[in-house]
C-alpha cells in the first residue's frame, strides 16, 4: 500500500497503490494516507496543481468491498477525503487508466479535471453488489453527465468506454499515450481554474429522467438498490450536502440489507472457489492452445462454441458425417449471430470460425493439448473413446469427460495413465451457462486439476472443483430439490403453485418448468438408474406417469405443462387431473400446502444435501456449493446461495425444520447432515468453513 509523491515543476503527482486494484481501503489506512498526502501537497507553497494517478494496471477498482461488513460510518473517511480533494484551492487533475470503478470513479469525480487513456473503462458497478454509489457518485455523476446518462450507468452497473465518457462529459480528454504526461501538459498550458463537480448545477433533465427510471423499477425485486439510486438522484438539489446526506443514509440501509450481503458474498465467492486448498502455489497450469472436442451433439457443439469464443483452436471429432455437418452449421450460425447482434466484429467472427476444424476420426487429435469428450452417456461408448484417445493423444495431453452421471474414476481406468483424466462438466447451453464443474478423480494429478481450473477462467467460466459421487455437487443437490417438488405434487400442490412459489422466492425458474426445459426424459433416466442403485430412496411416481405418456417437456410440445407455441408454458388440466388421481391411487388425502412450506422444503433440501456434500469432502467449502447453485441452477444471487442463505436463517433453526420434516412423511429423505448438526450445536455458521 503506498501513496508516492513526485514533483514535476510546480505540479505534484500523487500515485496511489494498494494491491491489485488500488482498492480504496479504509480498514488498512490507505484512504487516510491519500488524504494526508493530498493535504500536504495542498499546503506545499511550491505546488500549484495536483495530479492523482493509479499505480499498476489501473486507476482504481473501487472502495474495498471487504470494508462493508463493518461499520457503515467507515465510508465517511472516504467521503471526507473526497471532499478535501474537491474543495482544494489548487486545481486537481485525475490521470485515469485501466479502470475507474465505483469509489474509484467517485474519487476521479472529486477532482476538477479528468483525463482518460484510450481503452479505459469507467463505471458504477455498485448496483451489482446491492449497493448505490455511496461516495458522492449519485450527486456528482448527474451533475457531470446529466441525470439520464448517470442513471443509466448507475442502474445498469455497466462501465462505459473512455470515448463514451468524453461524449457524456464524464471526462475532459482522452489520450492515446501516457495519461500522467497529458495531465501535466494540461496543468502547464494555463493553470486551469478549480472546478468542483459538486458546485455544478442540478441537471435540467433530472425530473424527467427520475420519472422514467422509476417506471422501470421492479417493485418485488430482492435488491432495493435500483430504487434507492433513483431516490438519490431525485434528492439532487442546489445544496450538495443535503444530497450527500440522503445518499449516505440510503447507502447504510443497503449495506445492511440481506440482498447486498448476499451479492457481496457472491463477489468474493466466485473468486474464492478458484483456490484449491492444500495445493502448493508452485503447481503451475500447463499451456492449452489446441483442444479436441469429441461428439457433435448438443453439448459438444455448445462446448466448441464456448472454446472458439475464448480464442482457442478446436478440432471437433464426430464419427457421423451428417451430425458433424449439422454441428458445423450450428457453430457458424451462432458465431454469425453475434455479429448480426453487434456483439463482435465480422473479422473476429471469421477468426473464430477459422480456428474450427471438423474431423471424422479420433486420429485427428494427435497434437491437441486437451480433449473434452462429450459423447453419449453410456459407459461402453466412453470406454471406446478413452481407449482410443489413450493410444492417439500425446502423453501430456489432458483427457476430460463432460459426463454428468457416470463415474469419472471408472472412465479414468480406461486410460493407461489415469492421472491425466479430469471431469469438465459443462451446463447446457454450454456456450452460455457460466458454471463448469471440474471433477477431480482419485487419480487426477494436481497439475491437471490446476490446468483445468485455469482453463475454466480462460473460457469465462466459474470453475468449481467437485469430488466424484452420483451427480457430483450440482445434480446431486438438484435431485433432492426435485424429490421434494414431486412429493409436494402428490401431497396436494399443483405444478403452477410449486413453480410460482419458488419463482416468487427468487429462483429463475421453478422445478417443473426447469425439467420441462431440460427434458423430463433426462430426469426419468436418473430416477430409473437410482431405482436400481438406491431402491430405498424412491421418488414420487407421479412424475414418471407423465413421462410414461411420452410428455418430455418443451421439446415434445408437452410435459408437465403444454407448449402451444413451443415456448410458453401453460398449465394442463389433464395433468392436474392426473396428479389428483395419482394421490387417490396411492391412498393419500391431498391437503392445502402453503407457499412457505414449498419454499422451505425445496430450499432446505438443497441446504441439507449441500451440508452432506461438504461434510463428505465432495465440495471443498460451503461457498463452492453456493457458486454452483448460482451459476448452474438459477438460484437468486441476492440470496448468496443455499449455504449462505442457511446462515441467514440460522443453522439451529434450519436444523429444527429439517428434524421436523425427518419426523414426517418420507422422513428418510431428511437425514440431517452431520456437518449441519455439528455446526448448529456449536452455534457456528457455514461461513466459518469458507476461510
Give the residue numbers annotated as catalytic, written as ranges. 106, 126
Using CB under 6 A, which of 102, 296, 302, 510 touches ligand T1G? 102
Query: Which of 457/590 has CB closer to ligand T1G?
Result: 457
Q: Which of residues 51-80 bind ligand T1G (CB under 6 A)?
A: 61-66, 75
Cell 464419427 belongs to 319
Strand-strand pairing, 462-466 and 435-439? parallel
**DSSP summary character for residue 377:** S
Query: Which of 54/467 has CB closer to ligand T1G?
Result: 54
Query: Which of 126/638 has CB closer to ligand T1G?
Result: 126
Cross-strand bridge partners of residue 260: none
Cell 470513479 belongs to 105
Cβ 201 to ligand T1G shortest distance, Å:
23
Query: Which window, 96-104, 176-184, 629-637, 653-661, contacts ligand T1G (CB under 6 A)?
Result: 96-104
Q: Which helix (H) or strand (E) holds 455?
A: helix 446-458
Those residues whose C-beta lies under 8 Å from the C-beta of residue 215, and which sit 6 or more positions away, are none
Query: Which of 136/328 has CB closer to ligand T1G?
Result: 136
Cβ 261 to ligand T1G shortest distance, Å:
13
For residue 31, the SS3 value is helix
Using CB under 6 A, which of 49, 101, 244, 327 touches ligand T1G? 101
Using CB under 6 A as the binding rule, whether residue 300 contacts ligand T1G is answered as no
266: closest CA among 634, 640, 635, 629?
640
Query: Which of 90/637 has CB closer to ligand T1G?
Result: 637
Cβ 630 to ligand T1G shortest distance, Å:
16
Q: Do the beta carbons of residue 554 and residue 517 sit within 8 Å?
A: yes
Cβ 97 to ligand T1G shortest distance, Å:
13
Cβ 82 to ligand T1G shortest distance, Å:
9
Using CB under 6 A as the binding rule, whether residue 150 contacts ligand T1G is answered as no
Using CB under 6 A as the binding rule, whether residue 96 contacts ligand T1G is answered as no
Q: Do the beta carbons of residue 174 and residue 116 sit within 8 Å?
A: yes
How many whole angstroms separate alpha carbon 257 and alpha carbon 69?
11
> DSSP per residue over 572-641, as a string?
-HHHHHHHHHHHHHTT-------HHHHHHHHHHHHHHHHHHHHHTTSSSSHHHHHHHHHHHS---GGG--
Using CB under 6 A as the binding rule, whether residue 99 contacts ligand T1G is answered as yes
Query: Which of 61/506 has CB closer to ligand T1G?
Result: 61
Cell 481501503 belongs to 25
Q: Please calculate the CA angle 354-432-339 and round it to the nearest 5 degrees.
A: 45
Cβ 28 to ligand T1G shortest distance, Å:
11
Query: Which of 75/148 has CB closer to ligand T1G?
Result: 75
Query: Which window, 122-130, 304-312, 445-453, 492-500, contacts ligand T1G (CB under 6 A)?
Result: 122-130
Using CB under 6 A, which of 3, 11, 23, 658 touches ligand T1G? 23
List the grid coordinates of 356.
Answer: 474450427
Cβ 561 to ligand T1G shortest distance, Å:
39
Query: Which of 133/358 has CB closer to ligand T1G?
Result: 133
How many whole angstroms separate alpha carbon 562 and alpha carbon 167?
49
Query: Which window, 15-23, 198-206, 391-399, 647-655, contacts ligand T1G (CB under 6 A)?
Result: 15-23
Query: Which window, 125-133, 345-353, 365-373, 472-480, contacts ligand T1G (CB under 6 A)?
Result: 125-133
CA dihedral 355, 356, 362, 364 (to 10 degrees): -40
633: closest CA among 428, 440, 490?
428
Cβ 197 to ligand T1G shortest distance, Å:
15
Q: Which of residues 166-205 bind ligand T1G (CB under 6 A)?
A: none
Using CB under 6 A, which of 35, 91, 103, 358 touches ligand T1G? 103
Using CB under 6 A as the binding rule, whether residue 137 contacts ligand T1G is answered as yes
Cβ 20 to ligand T1G shortest distance, Å:
4
Using CB under 6 A as the binding rule, whether residue 21 contacts ligand T1G is answered as yes
How many of the chain's residues bind ligand T1G (CB under 6 A)?
25
Q: Do the beta carbons of residue 388 and residue 372 sit within 8 Å?
A: no
How many whole angstroms separate alpha carbon 358 and alpha carbon 322?
12
Q: Do the beta carbons of residue 670 and residue 606 sit within 8 Å?
A: no
Q: Which of residues 221-280 bind ligand T1G (CB under 6 A)?
A: 268, 271
Give how far Cα 563 sits from Cα of 168, 547, 566, 571, Å.
46, 16, 5, 9
Query: Which of 99/614 has CB closer to ligand T1G?
Result: 99
Cell 495530479 belongs to 51
115: closest CA among 39, 13, 21?
13
**DSSP summary character for residue 343:** S
Cell 474543495 belongs to 87
Query: Which window, 101-109, 317-325, 348-356, 672-680, contacts ligand T1G (CB under 6 A)?
Result: 101-109
Query: Which of 125/146 has CB closer to ligand T1G?
Result: 125
Strand-strand pairing, 398-401 and 421-426? parallel
Cβ 605 to ligand T1G shortest distance, Å:
31
Using CB under 6 A, which of 91, 130, 133, 203 touches ligand T1G? 133
List the grid coordinates of 292.
Answer: 479436441
**Binding map of ligand T1G across residues 389-408, x = CB under 6 A, - = no contact:** --------------------
Q: What residue ranges bind ligand T1G (CB under 6 A)? A: 20-21, 23, 61-66, 75, 99, 101-103, 106, 125-126, 129, 131, 133-135, 137, 268, 271
Amino acid at each position: 500500500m503506498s501513496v508516492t509523491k513526485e514533483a514535476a515543476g510546480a505540479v505534484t503527482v500523487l500515485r496511489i497503490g494498494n494491491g491489485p486494484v488500488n482498492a480504496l481501503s479504509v480498514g488498512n489506512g490507505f484512504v487516510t494516507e491519500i488524504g494526508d498526502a493530498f493535504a500536504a501537497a495542498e499546503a506545499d507553497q511550491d505546488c500549484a496543481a495536483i495530479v492523482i494517478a493509479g499505480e499498476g494496471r489501473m486507476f482504481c477498482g473501487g472502495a474495498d468491498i471487504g470494508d462493508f461488513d463493518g461499520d457503515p460510518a467507515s465510508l465517511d473517511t472516504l467521503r471526507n477525503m473526497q471532499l478535501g480533494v474537491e474543495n482544494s484551492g489548487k486545481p486537481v487533475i485525475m490521470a485515469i487508466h485501466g479502470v475507474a470503478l465505483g469509489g474509484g470513479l467517485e474519487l476521479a469525480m472529486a477532482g476538477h479535471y479528468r483525463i482518460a487513456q484510450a481503452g479505459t473503462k469507467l463505471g458504477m458497478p455498485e448496483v451489482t453488489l446491492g449497493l448505490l454509489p455511496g461516495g458522492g457518485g449519485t450527486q456528482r455523476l448527474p451533475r457531470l453527465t446529466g441525470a439520464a446518462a448517470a442513471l443509466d450507468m448507475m442502474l445498469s452497473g455497466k462501465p462505459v468506454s473512455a470515448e463514451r465518457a468524453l461524449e457524456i462529459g464524464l471526462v475532459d480528454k482522452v489520450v492515446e499515450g501516457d495519461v500522467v504526461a497529458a495531465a501535466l501538459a494540461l496543468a502547464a498550458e494555463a493553470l486551469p481554474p478549480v472546478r468542483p463537480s459538486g458546485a455544478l448545477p442540478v441537471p435540467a433533465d433530472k425530473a424527467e429522467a427520475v420519472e422514467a427510471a422509476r417506471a422501470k423499477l421492479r417493485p418485488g425485486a430482492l435488491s432495493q438498490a435500483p430504487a434507492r439510486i433513483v431516490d438519490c438522484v431525485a434528492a439532487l438539489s442546489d445544496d450538495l450536502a443535503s444530497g450527500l446526506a440522503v445518499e449516505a443514509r440510503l447507502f447504510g440501509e443497503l449495506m445492511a440489507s440481506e440482498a447486498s450481503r448476499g451479492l457481496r458474498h457472491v463477489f468474493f465467492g466466485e473468486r474464492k472457489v478458484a483456490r484449491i486448498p492444500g495445493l502448493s502455489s508452485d503447481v503451475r497450469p500447463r499451456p492449452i492452445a489446441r483442444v479436441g472436442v469429441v461428439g457433435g451433439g448438443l453439448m459438444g457443439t455448445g462446448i466448441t462454441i464456448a472454446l472458439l469464443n475464448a480464442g482457442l483452436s478446436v478440432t471437433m471429432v464426430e464419427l457421423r458425417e451428417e451430425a458433424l455437418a449439422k454441428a458445423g452449421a450450428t457453430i457458424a450460425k451462432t458465431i454469425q449471430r453475434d455479429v448480426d447482434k453487434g456483439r463482435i466484429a465480422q473479422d473476429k467472427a471469421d477468426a473464430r470460425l477459422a480456428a474450427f476444424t471438423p474431423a471424422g476420426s479420433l486420429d485427428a487429435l494427435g497434437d491437441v493439448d486437451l480433449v473434452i469428450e462429450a459423447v453419449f452417456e453410456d459407459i461402453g461408448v466412453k470406454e471406446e473413446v478413452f481407449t482410443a484417445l489413450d493410444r492417439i493423444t500425446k502423453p501430456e495431453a489432458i483427457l476430460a469427460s463432460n459426463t454428468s452421471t457416470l463415474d469419472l474414476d471408472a472412465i479414468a481406468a480406461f486410460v493407461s495413465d489415469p492421472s491425466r483424466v479430469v471431469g469438465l462438466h459443462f451446463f447446457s447451453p454450454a456456450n452460455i451457462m457460466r458454471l463448469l464443474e471440474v471433477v477431480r478423480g482419485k487419480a487426477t494429478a494436481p497439475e491437471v486439476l490446476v490446468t483445468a481450473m485455469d482453463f475454466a477462467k480462460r473460457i469465462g467460466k466459474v470453475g468449481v472443483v467437485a469430488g466424484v459421487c452420483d451427480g457430483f455437487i450440482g445434480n446431486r443437490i438438484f435431485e433432492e430439490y426435485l424429490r421434494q417438488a414431486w412429493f409436494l405434487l402428490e401431497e396436494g400442490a399443483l405444478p403452477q403453485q410449486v413453480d410460482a412459489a419458488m419463482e416468487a422466492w427468487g429462483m429463475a425458474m421453478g422445478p417443473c418448468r426447469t425439467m420441462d426445459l431440460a427434458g423430463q426424459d433426462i430426469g426419468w433416466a436418473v430416477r430409473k438408474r437410482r431405482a436400481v442403485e438406491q431402491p430405498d430412496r424412491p421418488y414420487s411416481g407421479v412424475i414418471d406417469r407423465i413421462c410414461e405418456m411420452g410428455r418430455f417437456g418443451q421439446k415434445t410440445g408437452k410435459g408437465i405443462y403444454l407448449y402451444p407455441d413451443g415456448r410458453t408454458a401453460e398449465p394442463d388440466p389433464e395433468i392436474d387431473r392426473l396428479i389428483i388421481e395419482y394421490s387417490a391411487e396411492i391412498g393419500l388425502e391431498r391437503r392445502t400446502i402453503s407457499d412457505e412450506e414449498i419454499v422451505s422444503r425445496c430450499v432446505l433440501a438443497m441446504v441439507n444435501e449441500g451440508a452432506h456434500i461438504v461434510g463428505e469432502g465432495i465440495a471443498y467449502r460451503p461457498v463452492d456449493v453456493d457458486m454452483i447453485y448460482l451459476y448452474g441452477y438459477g438460484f437468486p444471487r441476492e440470496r448468496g446461495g443455499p449455504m449462505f442463505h442457511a446462515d441467514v436463517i440460522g443453522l439451529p433453526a434450519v436444523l429444527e425444520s429439517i428434524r421436523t420434516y425427518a419426523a414426517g412423511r418420507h422422513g428418510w429423505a431428511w437425514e440431517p447432515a452431520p456437518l449441519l448438526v455439528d455446526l448448529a450445536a456449536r452455534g457456528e455458521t457455514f461461513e466459518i468453513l469458507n476461510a
